[in-house]
Amino acid sequence: MLNASILSIGDEILIGQIQNTNSKWIAEKITQIGCSVKKISSVGDNYNEITSEIDTLLNISDLLIITGGLGPTHDDITKQVLCDYFNDYLVENSEWLEKIRKQFSRRGIQLSKRNQEQALIPKNAKLLYNEIGTAPGMLFANKGKYVISLPGVPQEVYCIMQDEALKFISDVIGATSEDTILYKNIQTAGIAESTLADLLQVDEKLLGKSTLAFLPSFAGVKLRIGAFGNNQFEAKNELERIKSHIISKAKQFIISEDEKSYSQILGELLTRLGKTIAVAESCTGGMLGAEITSVSGSSKYFLGGMQTYSNDVKINNLGVSSAIIDSYGAVSRECAEAMSECIREKLQADIGISITGIAGPEGGTPEKPVGTVYFAISDENKTYSDVKVFSNSREIVRERAVQNAILMLIKLLHSK
Amino acid sequence: MLNASILSIGDEILIGQIQNTNSKWIAEKITQIGCSVKKISSVGDNYNEITSEIDTLLNISDLLIITGGLGPTHDDITKQVLCDYFNDYLVENSEWLEKIRKQFSRRGIQLSKRNQEQALIPKNAKLLYNEIGTAPGMLFANKGKYVISLPGVPQEVYCIMQDEALKFISDVIGATSEDTILYKNIQTAGIAESTLADLLQVDEKLLGKSTLAFLPSFAGVKLRIGAFGNNQFEAKNELERIKSHIISKAKQFIISEDEKSYSQILGELLTRLGKTIAVAESCTGGMLGAEITSVSGSSKYFLGGMQTYSNDVKINNLGVSSAIIDSYGAVSRECAEAMSECIREKLQADIGISITGIAGPEGGTPEKPVGTVYFAISDENKTYSDVKVFSNSREIVRERAVQNAILMLIKLLHSK
């Protein structure tokens, strides 16, 4: 197994100004190809602190991936730190200079001296091409240890990792015959954790040195296989073996065999069935439509919808009967059902789906506390509805409501 | 200055399965009250690795905040590690046992032995009350160093920090007369970084030992003041002095003096002006409405809107003339203007706001490449429109479009 660590550099991380999404993304990608991540850390733009952390991390890992500190301003010191760390010196890389020169001329801007310095690369480092930005990635190899230095901008990290670094890391892993763990997630829905465990009959004989984690969330239990092998090939076989076992035992509860979002799973189902949908949202204010259309190509099945935040809009524009709102309130099963039926009809969709609830922090009552959300799905035959009471913050109530609505529709379509 | 570090514990972080939002949140909160964060790190559920990292972090910090590993299952070992680290032993806390007993009985579940063990607290640790979960926070004080151990669930972290830990940290900081840095962000819009720098005339005399960072983003330049003082009181005075200078020089470009989201700023403006709005969204599929309604109390000014993803819905339901779409296309200034006018009229709102564009990755043309987004705002007097071409992924194009739409409206309302 290739032991790896991830280091992010930047004061903005330490003061909590930005969410460090790079580390999570890198950890996920390199774990998938067989690295074992030992430690993830962040330090500020400080020469000694960066040097000391590189030392610590290289002590416990074969591969260190660093993000940040490669920009053109005075606080960007990663390149100098690495140069000193590896007793290297900077030389101008003519290919890179040409690339940024062209980049600037396309934008009609003069290449400043400061930006020109982005083409200075440590002599013994390999340049990793960066399609988007002015700083390239760099790869240092020294005494069996590898350091990959990347810019801090997430899009540039994704780009360099996908175009260059992941291939390199795979090759290093492939060249060693060391043991490997491969991970895979299988998403289930509609079955409790303990019932699923009984059904799968997980034991020593099934797992050997591999692992199977049960990760329950409000939306179902995710199974994480960690397949162990003495090399990549063996680990892949183990993964297939354990996956087949799970599928044979729990097929009817599996909604995805890949790491897919609910909106992707929904999109595939709707595309396969050739159905169109429309949404009517109250407390989520558009989040359901936003989530469904986060999938590229969703225009094939998503027609549109209405954000009916006020009761007037529910009645006058969507067409919910005012008697329903007067009798049951806007947050009610009856209102949700009417919303899904009205939007389906209005937009001439095959399926209408609605959400109405109390996201909070205000507006709750003893009968309908904050977090109460009603859902309805209407198709050519029937209207289905449900209610959930979520806890926690406004943000989480809304997020859970959206995921629950999509899951409800997935389950319904799955049974078709 | 109180030096602090943050440590997150959990294999799920190292394999990139979850985004570590706790560290960012804690870093932000403790920085605001005057801590200097030295390092943020994450290690797995491994006894030796946790112990070794606690050692490293306590070496460089006076305060260490740990999240994760306090649950009831076998992989939760933080309590045992800390007990051993501080030569302490577990004793049952009767108050906490009573609390979780009540919690379980409310849910109608029997308190298992495993859950009962959540009431075992190291003898010399102070219990930090956790309103929501079954694991309390714990505070260890030893030889002038402080360790705060919190559960991993973000909501529980927020709750314990806000109810208990932040007050304690403030008191520790207040009791010392050491130097302090306080941070504050001021958001500007409509002025380039270099022009703003010239306008502010930032120099040694203004700053002294304090700092002023320029943080440009697609939406404007954020100024981050880092005000230095020999104690809290001095730092607060410095902060006020630098803030006043900035306001006096750049008042007309400041859209918020606090760390507020655009949707919060918009909400305050609309509330103050007593105006209502409605949205019409194409490529963002509901994200604009979702963002506006992320603010609690937004029902005062947000009436609703339409997600008009398909052209049929734009024409038949929203009321955009088919001639406009035939002549100019759905992604055009003309269509955006019509969308904003139609939704304003349809929902009887004071202001209509619309977005239509090509989020990608497909659907671009040489004239209108992927990332082209048209915006329009319509009020009782006039319809304003704009176009932007964003680059990068579908997700980023949509996110930027939403932020740009809100910013466009903020600027318009600001000038009233």
DSSP string, A240-265: HHHHHHHHHHHGGGEEESSS--HHHH
Q: Which residue in the set B14, B23, B313 is minimally distant from A347, CB to CB?
A: B313
Predicted confidence pLDDT, tens digits, chain A (416 residues): 789 999 999 998 999 988 899 999 999 999 888 899 999 999 999 999 999 999 999 999 999 999 999 987 777 899 999 999 999 999 999 999 999 998 888 877 788 887 888 999 999 999 999 988 889 999 999 988 999 999 998 889 999 999 999 999 988 887 775 788 888 889 888 787 778 888 898 888 888 989 888 776 666 788 989 899 988 889 999 999 999 999 999 998 898 887 788 899 999 999 999 999 999 999 999 999 999 999 999 999 999 999 999 999 999 999 999 999 999 999 999 999 999 999 999 999 999 999 999 998 888 898 999 999 999 999 999 999 999 998 768 888 999 899 999 999 998 997 76
Q: Residue B296 corresponds to which tokens in the numbers above?
A: 């609690």
Taking CA atoms, what residue in A is nearest to B395? A294
Taking CA atoms, what residue in B is nearest to A359? B296
Interface test with A, best of B8, B14, B162, B300 (most A CBs within 10 A): B14
**Hey, is B291 helix, strand or coil?**
helix
Instruction: State residue B108's pLDDT score.
Output: 77
Instruction: State residue A219's pLDDT score.
Output: 64
Per-residue pLDDT for B356 more than 90? yes
Structural domains of chain A ordered from first start: 2-175 (3.40.980.10), 180-256 (3.30.70.2860), 262-414 (3.90.950.20)
**Hey, is A302 helix, strand or coil?**
strand
**Hey, is B280 helix, strand or coil?**
strand
Per-residue pLDDT for B295 more than 80? yes
Q: Which residues of B touch A18 (CB under 8 A)?
A: 24
A15/B312 touch (CB, cutoff 8 Å), yes or no: no
Any bridge partners for residue A383, and if so which? A378
Calculate the average pLDDT of chain A: 91
Using an 8 Å Cβ cutoff, are A315 and B348 in contact? no
Using an 8 Å Cβ cutoff, are B120 and B109 in contact? no
**Hey, is B267 helix, strand or coil?**
helix
Q: Which residue in the set A26, A287, A362 is minimally distant from B296, CB to CB?
A: A362
Taking CA atoms, what residue in A is nearest to B38? A43
Strands B180-188 and B254-256: antiparallel
User: Which residues 6+ apart lie within 8 Å of A362 measured at CB?
Assistant: A370, B296, B297
Rounded to whole angstroms, the Cα distance separating B309 from B285 reads 7
Residue type at B38 in one-letter notation: K
Interface predicted TM-score (ipTM) of this complex, two decimals: 0.72
Q: Which residues of A touch B38 (CB under 8 A)?
A: 14, 43-44, 49
Residue A22 Cα, gap to closest chain B Cα (Å):
10
Rounded to whole angstroms, the Cα distance separating A185 from A179 reads 20
Taking CA atoms, what residue in B is nearest to A30? B15
pLDDT digits (tens, 9 = 90+) for B192-202: 777 888 889 88
